[in-house]
Copies of this chain bind each other. A is one copy, B any other.
Amino acid sequence: MHNPLIAKLEHGVDLTDADRGLLNDLIRQTRTVGARQAIIHEGERPDFVYLVLDGFACRYKTLVGGARQNMAYLVPGDFCDLHVAILGAMDHTIATLSPCTIVDIPRHAILDLTDQHPRIARALWWCTLVDEGTLREWLLNIGQREAAQRLAHLFCELLVRLQAVGLADANSYALPITQEELGDTLGVTSVHVNRTIQALRDDGFITLRSKRLTIPDVARLYAYCEFNPNYLHLTKRENGTVNGHRL
C-alpha cells in the first residue's frame, strides 16, 4: 500500500529501509470515516495519534455565534496530534472534510518508536515544526492579504503539499472542499469565496471544475500571491526553484 507518511517524511529527513519498514508497520490497520465527522473533540485527551492516509481533514475552533475557523488542513501523510501526550487536553477539534481513511496509532507505539529510532524521532519533530510554520504562514495570509491572494496562496500551498505525497500532478489536484469550508479557512464568507473564485477564473489563474483544481501557469499564480514554499521546509527541493519554477 502507498504510504504517504513515508513520502512526506523523505522530504525532511533521510530514512533507511528499516525506518520505512517500521513506518509501514504503523499503517496496517486503517479505518474509514465519512465526511464531516469529528475525529477528536476539543477537551478530549485521546490515547491514540491519528494519521490521515486518504482524504482531507482539518483542525478548527468555533465561536459561540457559530463562526468557525479552520486552523489547519490535514492531508494524507499528516498526523492529527503527535503532541497530545504532553498537553492536558485538546484545545481544538479535528474533523474530516471529505471521507477519509485514517489510522489509529496507540500513543505508546509512537513513544516506543521515537525512543528507539532517533531518525524517526527527528522526522516526527520535523513534522510538528512544519505544522507550526504553516500556521504562521496562514496567519500572514489571513492578516495581510486580501481575499483573492489568500485563496491563491492556499491553492499554491495545497499543490506543493499534495505533490509531496504524490497526490497532485504538475499543476492540478483533487480538492474535495466546499466553498463554505474554504471561507471558514480564509476568514471570509462563502459568498465572497464564490466571487473571488470567479475572479481568479476570469483572470486565468485557475480552473476549478467538479472538485478538481488546475493551475494553468503555476509560476504566475505563485507570483500573484507571493507564494514562497520555504515555510514547508521541503529541504530536498533544489534551492531557489519550486517544482522547477524559478521564484
Contacts and interface: CB of A to CB of B under 8 A. Distances in A.
A15 interface: no
B133 A139 contact: no
Nearest to A232: B91
Interface string A180-193: 00000011000000
A133 to B, nearest CB: 5
A177 interface: no
A8 to B, nearest CB: 15
A88 interface: yes
Contacts of A226: 63-64
Interface residues of A, number: 41
B61 A126 contact: no
Given A230-B89, A233-B88, A71 B139 contact: yes
Interface stretch (A33-41, A142-150, A157-165, A206-214): A142-150
A111 interface: no
A226 B69 CA distance: 14
A144 B183 CA distance: 11
Contact of A129 (B64, B71, B87, B136): B87
A131 interface: yes
Interface string A38-81: 00000000000000000000010101100111011000000000
A25 to B, nearest CB: 24
Contact of A138 (B63, B126, B139): B139
Given A142-B187, A187-B143, A187-B144, A133 B91 contact: yes
A235 interface: yes
Contacts of A143: 69, 142, 186-187
Nearest to A130: B87
Contact of A135 (B69, B122, B136): B136
B135 A132 contact: yes
Contacts of A233: 87-88, 91
Contact of A136 (B68, B92, B125, B231): B92
Interface of A: 59, 61, 63-64, 67-69, 71-72, 83, 86-89, 91-92, 122, 125-126, 128-129, 131-133, 135-140, 142-145, 186-187, 226, 230-231, 233, 235
Q: Rank and list the top 10 A-B pairs by shortest CB-CB distance, nearest first.
A: A143-B187, A67-B144, A69-B140, A69-B143, A91-B231, A135-B135, A71-B136, A69-B144, A61-B140, A71-B139
